[in-house]
Chain A
Amino acid sequence: MRNFLIRKVIASIVTLYAIVTANFVIFRMAPGDPIRMMFRDPRVSAEQLAEQTEKFGLSGSLWDQYLAYMGNLLQGDLGLSFWQKRPVIDVIAERIPQTLMLVLTALALAVLIGTFFGALAGWKSGKKTDSIILSTSLTLYSIPSFAMGIVLLMVFAYILTIFPLGGIRTPASGFTGIRSVLDVLWHMILPAFSIILWYVGEYILLTRSSMLDVLGQDYILTARAKGLRERLIRKRHALRNALLPVITITGVNLGFAVAGIIEAETVFSWPGVGRLIYDAVLKRDYPLLQGVFLVFAAAIILANFVIDLIYSFVDPRIRVGE
């Protein structure tokens, strides 16, 4: 168990280091060299430019630049956003809570709904219920979040006008206390749904195939041969085992899952990190783009670590240690 954790920590650090380095390389080697672009960017003032040049060792060799970049990064300095004219780290930091709020809500609901229907479909495999759930979830999973978002936006915000068009608060409403909380939730429903529907599809597919796999295992037949009630077999024997791979695959899939956040936040102008990446692209704000990418990568590594930790607690085969 301890070895398992130490190995995971080391692996995470190595991955993070590799990503940080790759990030440096991508932005320095590419034809549209962002540094040279920065010198031409009219939005950056002369003093800022001089300051950045010095801080990031831009007048030195590539190696000096790399060291300076790593040094600054360790101090949490990701450079200056061209567009907002303030440190990238500040711009990103103030967006993180909104993204976490959206993504954790969506993920929690999607996991609940998805595993429920996935387990049901697997249990009823080959029956009508199964094929309905399967084709529905495949369809949901195949609809990109941005497409789903646009449709939801058109139907519920423009045509039916029962939900707001976007953003996180009603502008100039002056809501306080509980009203302001409700207002935020109100704004969150559509973007959350456009992610949830996508995630739900994925979790149904995952849980279903895992459930099918488990139902073919010998211990299910053993449980039946014991004369246990179906409900007990389903809950204690089948579902519990079926959820283990779902936990692992959640970690593996996080790299893909981020896409949903970016798309939903973009469509609904949700002021989170995902929308920031869209704005950074539109405004050609490379330091910001670089920063957002790093934040996403670090978040995934951290989340994966947490998932490994959870897994090691629920699977006795790891818990007891190798």
Chain B
Amino acid sequence: MALLEVKDLSIYYQMHRGDAKAVDGVSFSIKENETLGLIGESGCGKTTIALSLLRFIRPPGKITGGSIIYNGTNILDLSEDGMRRLRGNEIAIVRQEAQNALNPVLTVGEQIAEQIIEHDKVDKNTAWQRAKDQLELVGIGADRVRSYPHEFSGGMRQRVMIAIATANYPKLLILDEPITGLDVIVQRQLLKLIADLRDRFELTIIFIAHDLSVIAENCDRVVVMYAGKVAENSNTSDLYHKPLHPYSSALISSYPSILGERQELKSIPGAPPSLVNPPPGCLFADRCEHVMDICRQKIPPEYDIDGRSVACHLYEHSKEPQV
């Protein structure tokens, strides 16, 4: 059974000149212990989806339709308190290392322990001991439990964030570009740490990135998003070797090959259209090499091809990939 099922989710930002459809009819699901990649250019709705899974969408943003079924319950129907009990406890998030993700005036120990106390109702000493264990686990060392965030480097702070996110042994971990902005060696170390923790705690992970190589190494399945919609949903290896959607193949050829083959890097010309009053038809049409007349008239439905799905008119008559 799927641990999380997102069905036909729409999230609009309501503005004077109309609604910006940041997320428009998105569906995907994750099985337990699966790692799902969510990939796309910035502004394609990835982070909005991540926030919606914790029900963090605030005005002017609004979830206008669809459902998010977690463990059989639609979290959009939960009470505010019911939702709060899930956060940190069952669904945790690590976001892009921002300067201030940790509270500057509290020790890291306090910041881990407070979450443990909130959900597990343990006494202070137990929580403190568990906070130390967590720090040990993420490779910081229990002796730093009384340190303040400003005493750590960016990579170390991200380890603390991971320690917090896993402190209550959540089922679902959302990683929103967790290694962006860090240097390459630190990125490697963090990815290894995440992989270790996944195995140890049997985590189900949603991994959001704009960097394909990160996704390729770590994810079982990948959802490719473009302009608030799912372009393609596929297992990782098929996506790489045989991308179905023209956007997927453009994305893959815009990154250096991880296999080390020498290929010409292509950037994707143009930019996504405005999400307020977008043109009719496929939103990728203006940038697509294979654009047809129908692309500018009709929004492509999703076609199932060998257990993968793709939203592109190229697949209307044929089940054979034509890219």
Contact = CB atoms under 8 A, between A and B. Distances in A.
Nearest to A225: B93
A214 B106 CA distance: 14
A227 B148 contact: no
Interface stretch (A11-19, A53-61, A96-104, A228-236): A228-236
Interface string A307-322: 0000000111100100
A244 B101 CA distance: 18
B56 interface: yes
Interface residues on B, range: 20 to 34
A316 B87 contact: no
B118 A226 contact: yes
B159 to A, nearest CB: 14
A175 to B, nearest CB: 48
B115 to A, nearest CB: 4
B119 interface: yes
Best-surrounded residue of A225, A236, A320 (most CB of chain B within 10 A): A225
A227 B115 contact: yes
Interface in B185-201: none
Contact of A222 (B99, B101, B119): B101
Interface residues of A, dominant DSSP: helix
B164 A226 contact: yes
Contacts of A227: 84-89, 115, 118-119
Given A218-B95, A224-B87, A232 B114 contact: yes
B92 A225 contact: yes
A72 B128 CA distance: 60
B279 interface: no
A244 B105 contact: yes
B322 interface: no
Contact of A316 (B99, B104, B164): B104
Given A226-B114, A226-B115, A236-B114, A219 B103 contact: yes
Contacts of B88: 225-228
B105 A218 contact: no
A225 B174 CA distance: 11
Given A225-B93, A227-B86, A320 B101 contact: no
Interface string A220-254: 01111111110010001100110010000000000
A218 B101 contact: yes
A317 B149 CA distance: 9
Nearest to B165: A225
Contacts of A225: 54, 56, 87-88, 92-93
B98 interface: yes
B98 to A, nearest CB: 4
A221 B161 CA distance: 12
Contacts of B100: 217-219
B264 to A, nearest CB: 39
A316 B151 CA distance: 10
B105 A316 contact: yes
A88 to B, nearest CB: 45
Contact of B103 (A223, A224, A320): A223
A225 B148 CA distance: 20
A222 B102 contact: yes
Contacts of A218: 95, 98-101
Interface string B73-96: 000000000001111110011010
A229 B118 contact: yes
B27 to A, nearest CB: 24
A237 B114 CA distance: 11
Contacts of B93: 225
A237 B56 CA distance: 18
Given A226-B87, A226-B164, A219 B148 contact: no
A228 B114 CA distance: 8
B150 interface: yes
B60 to A, nearest CB: 11
A241 B56 CA distance: 22
B55 to A, nearest CB: 10
B148 A320 contact: yes
B199 to A, nearest CB: 23
B87 to A, nearest CB: 4
A204 B32 CA distance: 49
A319 B93 CA distance: 31
B132 to A, nearest CB: 18
Contacts of B114: 226, 228, 232, 236
Interface of B: 54, 56, 84-89, 92-93, 95, 98-106, 114-115, 118-119, 148, 150-151, 161, 164
23 contacts: A217-B100, A218-B99, A219-B104, A221-B56, A222-B103, A224-B56, A225-B87, A225-B92, A225-B93, A226-B114, A226-B115, A227-B84, A227-B86, A227-B115, A228-B114, A228-B115, A232-B118, A236-B106, A236-B114, A240-B105, A241-B105, A314-B105, A317-B150
Given A227-B118, A241-B105, 15 more contacts: A219-B100, A219-B103, A219-B104, A221-B56, A222-B164, A225-B54, A225-B56, A226-B114, A227-B85, A227-B119, A228-B114, A240-B105, A317-B104, A317-B150, A320-B150
